[in-house]
């Protein structure tokens, strides 16, 4: 058995784990990453696409914003299409100049992986039988890697291993409480090398169900359709997808839509999920390991980033200032922001999707609410300030010496 000693063992090399690794590296805190998949698999997963202003600021702080600054597309507004008519929500003018940036999660992941490789930091990809133990006393991580058994001895474990990970599953049942809502539909997503139908994202509420027109660049589009959970990707040829999308759009967008061959197509179920607390002894959960939001508010990746801002700050405070305050406050601080993003994502999902179970009365009330939001300055401001991201403080990383 190979024994490795480190300060922080990070489980999972998604955006949460990679960003924590990068921030700890900048702060001179030794850590390793343990990931069950291959680096190629991790780098090619297609997921979220919208970064809040605060997430962009955090990536800048982490020193991985070069490509983001060069290729990210800043957006100062979104369109909401309802009753066949588009309404623009001017995010920037409603939030004192804040924006969101279109930049794929795949790119964020690649940038972070490249920075990690450049700094020659330790990562164990394709680790098997990963197990976390003794996190209420002396934390250990064991796994099998390239034919050998490993044991990591560390001060802390960061559970950044997503919804299906081993960290949350290892917490004793009487120490954890989970809250969940599963939605009766999914999103069918298509990625295609065609120019986006519009300069800004279009969130579509229609009688035929929700749709979203998004993008990854000026030549690559990402589109989504609300579909029943019983549907399979094989049920949806490209042709059927484009036809259905056109039906949900307004005449002008329908006319402008450029269709093409899909380069990725998948169905994702929609779920709201929160774990309380997010700390168990020396084990911290972050990102999807702790919470899931339906993608309607574009919050999944951004919440992972804010957890990591709090966790990195807490660990820096612990190692550089000898204070446990940040560690002790981690769970509560995260959960305050998490529940607000959960509320916003749930609300956007309800407002814009068609629910089979909704009565005509429910439907009318929803239309009235949407109409109110889109015609009231106060209503639009509520939407805008949540969409661009609720603010949090980012700890400066200047002049930190490596921790021995």
Binding region for ligand RFL (CB under 6 A) out of 28-36, 133-141, 175-183, 240-248:
28-36
> Residue 365 — φ and ψ, nearest 5°?
-65, -40
Sign of CA dihedral 356, 290, 221, 78: positive
Binding region for ligand RFL (CB under 6 A) out of 8-16, 61-69, 239-247, 309-317:
8-16
Helix (H, G, I), strand (E, B) or coil at 159: strand
Residue 222 in tokens: 């990402």
Binding region for ligand RFL (CB under 6 A) out of 6-14, 68-76, 381-389, 390-398:
6-14
Strand partners, 50: 102
Please indicate whether residue 396 is annotated as part of the active site. no
**Closest approach of ligand PHB to the CB of residue 215, in Å:** 7
- Cα dihedral value 38, 269, 187, 358, nearest 10: -170
Catalytically annotated residue among 25, 125, 203, 319: 203
Residue 243: which residues within 8 A CB-CB, separation 6 or more? none
Side by side, which strands form the sheet with 2-5? Answer: 2-5, 148-153, 140-145, 128-133
Query: Distance between CA 339 and CA 16 in Å, rounded?
Result: 18
> Is residue 304 a contact residue for ligand RFL (CB under 6 A)?
yes
Query: Distance between CA 206 and CA 339 in Å, rounded?
Result: 28
Please indicate whether residue 319 is annotated as part of the active site. no
Site for ligand RFL in 102-131 (CB under 6 A): 105, 127, 130
**Closest approach of ligand RFL to the CB of residue 108, in Å:** 9
CA distance from start to end of the chain: 25
Please indicate whether residue 387 is annotated as part of the active site. yes
> Is residue 48 a contact residue for ligand RFL (CB under 6 A)?
yes
- Interface residue list for ligand PHB (CB under 6 A): 48-50, 201, 212, 214, 222, 295-296, 298
User: In Å, how far from its chain's centre is CA 71?
Assistant: 19
The site partner of 35 among ligand PHB, ligand RFL, none (C-beta below 5 to 8 Å per kind) is ligand RFL
Map residues 210-229 to x or -, x wherever contact with ligand RFL holds by CB under 6 A.
Answer: --------------------
Query: Distance between CA 256 and CA 319 in Å, rounded?
Result: 55
**Closest approach of ligand PHB to the CB of residue 150, in Å:** 36
Q: Which of 288, 312, 344, 348 binds ligand RFL (CB under 6 A)?
A: 288
> Is residue 11 a contact residue for ligand RFL (CB under 6 A)?
yes
> Residue 366 — φ and ψ, nearest 5°?
-65, -40
Judged by the rule CB under 6 A, the positions of this chain that interact with ligand RFL are 11-17, 34-37, 42, 47-49, 105, 127, 130, 160-166, 268, 287-288, 295, 298-301, 304
């Amino acid at each position: 058995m190979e024994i490795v000693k480190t300060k922080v063992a990070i489980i999972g090399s998604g955006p949460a784990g990679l960003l924590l690794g990068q921030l700890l590296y900048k702060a001179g805190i030794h850590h390793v990453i343990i990931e069950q998949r291959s680096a190629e698999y991790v780098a090619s997963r297609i997921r979220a696409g919208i970064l809040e202003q605060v997430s962009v600021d955090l990536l800048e702080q982490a020193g991985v914003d070069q490509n983001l600054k060069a290729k990210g597309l800043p957006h100062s507004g979104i369109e909401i299409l309802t009753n066949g008519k588009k309404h623009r929500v001017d995010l920037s003018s409603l939030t004192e100049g804040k924006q969101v940036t279109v930049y794929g999660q795949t790119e964020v992941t690649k940038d972070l992986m490249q920075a990690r490789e450049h700094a020659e930091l330790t990562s164990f990809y394709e680790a098997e039988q990963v197990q976390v133990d003794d996190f209420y006393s002396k934390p250990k991580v064991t796994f099998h890697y390239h034919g050998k058994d490993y044991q990591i001895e560390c001060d802390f474990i960061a559970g950044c291993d997503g919804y299906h990970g081993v960290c949350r599953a290892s917490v004793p049942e009487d120490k954890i409480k989970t809250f969940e809502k599963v939605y009766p539909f999914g999103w069918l997503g298509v990625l295609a090398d065609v120019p986006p139908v519009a300069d800004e994202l279009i969130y579509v509420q229609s009688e035929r169900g929700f749709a979203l027109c998004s993008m990854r660049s000026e030549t690559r589009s990402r589109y989504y359709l609300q579909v029943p959970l019983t549907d399979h990707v094989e049920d949806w040829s490209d042709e059927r997808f484009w036809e259905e999308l056109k039906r949900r759009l307004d005449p002008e967008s329908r006319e402008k839509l450029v269709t093409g061959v899909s380069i990725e197509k998948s169905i994702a179920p929609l779920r709201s999920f929160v774990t309380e607390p997010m700390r168990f002894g020396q084990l911290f959960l972050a990102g999807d390991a702790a919470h899931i939001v339906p993608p309607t508010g574009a919050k999944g990746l951004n919440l992972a980033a804010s957890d990591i801002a709090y966790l990195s700050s807490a660990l820096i405070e612990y190692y550089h200032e000898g204070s446990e305050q940040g560690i002790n406050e981690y769970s509560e601080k995260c959960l305050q922001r998490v529940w607000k993003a959960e509320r916003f994502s749930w609300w956007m999902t309800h407002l814009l999707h068609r629910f089979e179970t909704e009565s005509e009365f429910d439907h009318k009330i929803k239309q009235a609410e949407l109409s109110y939001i889109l015609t009231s300055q106060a209503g639009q401001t509520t939407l805008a300030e949540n969409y661009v991201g609720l603010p949090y403080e980012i700890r400066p990383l200047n002049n930190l010496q490596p921790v021995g």
